[in-house]
Amino acid sequence: MEILYSATKPTGKLTLGNYLGAIKNWKEMQNNYNSIFAVADLHALTINIDSKELNDNIYTQFATFIAAGLDPDKSIIYCQSHVKEHAELAWIMNCLTYFGEASRMTQFKDHKAKDKVVSVGLFAYPMLMAGDILLYNTQVVPVGVDQMQHVEICRDIALRFNSRYGETFVIPRGIIPKVGAKIMGLQNPLKKMAKSEDNDNNVIYIEDDDDTIRKKFKRAVTDSLNRIKYCDEQPGVSNLLTIYSSINKISITDAEKHFEGKNYGALKTEVAECVIREISPIRERLQELKNNKPKIEELMKKGAEKASKIARETLNKVYAKIGLVINR
């Protein structure tokens, strides 16, 4: 089986977008790949985040992975900061990357344009991510379209290393999973449903209770065309159809057929109910786990031990190739 690596940043509470766009797919992928899933806590430090909030997010995100069905016996599930090799390889990656190529990363340019003040850490984010992927001899990296450029730079750095020092890194490929549509905001369906969101009604969080989910869908933006069709003119309705088809594992066409002749009220209610059916068992397991922090920490430790073993081996190989002396 090929090796797969994926991660989420604990910069906020996980959303329905994270679940349908990433975690739900991971659950299925772990049967077909040797999978490694990380809570990318070092990546979260690239933005200014409150320490208590970060700490909560790390526990919650890790517990959500487990509650959603990622299996620690099948896959390696761990926190990035527990494996110190990430920080070490990131430095090597920094030294192999040209300032010009890192400056071309669109995500960094977008942040810089928006936030004005950005950290060196944010600039170095793609190099940390390249190290994450390369440490585990990863072959496949499932990502959203927005992250593809970071997988490309990872490939470029790995190829550069291999040509300078000899075959060392496996060259990974990014894949955009076919299932796992992009979920948009409920109030602003032209913008991705994101963890960092000021308007609570725009986002469904995994931890939202059933009534909150119902209320948020009731308030979801539709339009006045009075037809249930997936098209550019109806981004709100299209988003609801996407959620429905993604949860029920049916095509958009079949979802449209299902709602033929029904009104927007029925659409919103049915979508809300299917989201509740999918998410509430996860939320319950999550609450149970969150009340048992020692259990979460035990699982974190187990994951980090497995991850560290592979990571150390790769890093020793890298250090030897570049001429550093390994301290055994």
Q: How far, in Å, CA of 295 to CA of 113, rounded?
A: 42
Residue 90 has which token pair?
Answer: 């990131």
314 touches ligand AMP by CB under 6 A:
no
Nearer to ligand AMP, 18 or 30 (CB): 18
193 touches ligand AMP by CB under 6 A:
yes
Residue 183 near residue 242 (C-beta atoms within 8 A): yes
68 touches ligand AMP by CB under 6 A:
no
184-223: burial string, b at 16+ Cβ within 10 Å, e else: bbbbbbeebbbbebeeebbbbbbbbeeeebbebbeebbbe
216 touches ligand AMP by CB under 6 A:
no
Residues 22-61 that bind ligand AMP (CB under 6 A): 22
Q: How far, in Å, CA of 265 to CA of 262, rounded?
A: 8
Least distance CB 37 / ligand AMP (angstroms): 11
Sole window of 113-121, 192-200, 222-230, 255-263 interacting with ligand AMP (rule: CB under 6 A): 192-200
Q: Using CB under 6 A, which of 66, 83, 89, 183 touches ligand AMP?
A: 183
Q: Using CB under 6 A, which of 3, 13, 17, 307 touches ligand AMP?
A: 17
Q: Using CB under 6 A, which of 13, 21, 205, 237 touches ligand AMP?
A: 21
Least distance CB 174 / ligand AMP (angstroms): 11
String marking each residue 110-149 x if it binds ligand AMP according to CB under 6 A? ---------------------------------xx-----
Residue 4 near residue 33 (C-beta atoms within 8 A): yes
Residue 317 has which token pair?
Answer: 């190989």
Nearer to ligand AMP, 182 or 312 (CB): 182
8 touches ligand AMP by CB under 6 A:
yes
| Extended strands (E) in 16-133 | 34-39, 76-79
Q: How far, in Å, CA of 32 to CA of 74, rounded?
A: 10
Sequence length of the chain is: 328
Residues 249-308 that bind ligand AMP (CB under 6 A): none
Binding-site size, ligand AMP (CB under 6 A) = 14
DSSP 22: I
18-30: burial string, b at 16+ Cβ within 10 Å, e else: bbbbbbbbbbebb
Least distance CB 309 / ligand AMP (angstroms): 26
Residues lying near ligand AMP in the complex (CB under 6 A) are found at 8-9, 17-18, 21-22, 143-144, 182-183, 192-195
